[in-house]
Amino acid sequence: MTLAKILIQIGISNIQLDKMNTENVLLKADFQDKYELKKTVREEITINIDEIISLGRFDRELKGVSWLELGELTHKNLARMNPPHGHPQYFQKEKFDYYLNELIDHSNTDSQNFVDAFIKKNVYTLAWNQVYANYYENLGYIISGDGNHRTLLMKLIGAKQVKIKELNYYVKK
């Protein structure tokens, strides 16, 4: 079964999935040379998930895919790559499916608030201090660290916010 069908079965709207299917994940290499680090802030920071433009493990081999396509590729174990540079395994099915199964377990409670409960457990209380972000002025955030798989799922289901522990703030050169 496709990831989209699973998400629809547990109550994620077609409108949300359509939005995630039309919004592409941006490739950091396409713009990072135009920016320079201005400052780093180390404290708990809450950011709007709509402002997330990419994930730290996202690289050239996946360029041009939407958020939903990235989720589908990860769920099918097709986004695990061994590039010539960078992290040897970008998106791991096991990690992504762990959070997906947690979401499915919450959906079986027949509660209208299952997504909120899942988000609260997995974004606000589970190892948020291992998640950091780079913010590119007038562009958005790239989530890195331990937050790649969780943030991908949070973006797909329409979560509103995510917490990070550290923010690197980049400005245009």
pTM of structure: 0.84
Residue 140, token pair as written in the block: 């958005």
Give the count of beta carbons closer than 10 Å to the beta carbon of residue 127.
12
Q: Kindly write down the DSSP assignment for every residue of 37-85, as one continuous string.
A: EEEEEEEEEEEEGGGEEEETT--GGGTT-BHHHHHHHHHTT-S----SS
Residue 118 — pLDDT band, cuts 50, 70, 90?
low
Which residue do the tokens 């913010």 mark?
135
Question: pLDDT tens-digit profile of 44-54?
Answer: 888 898 999 99
% of the chain residues with pLDDT over 90:
35
Mean pLDDT of 95-116: 71
The pLDDT > 70 percentage for the chain reads 79
> Per mean pLDDT, which range of 6-10, 63-67, 104-108, 154-158 is the poorest?
104-108
Q: What is the distance between the alpha carbons of residues 94 and 127, in angstroms, rounded to a whole number? A: 18
For the cut 60, the answer to whether the pLDDT of residue 111 exceeds it is: no
Q: Please check the confidence at residue 160 and state whether its pLDDT lies above 50.
A: yes
**Whether the Cβ atoms of residue 143 and residue 52 lie closer than 8 Å to each other:** yes
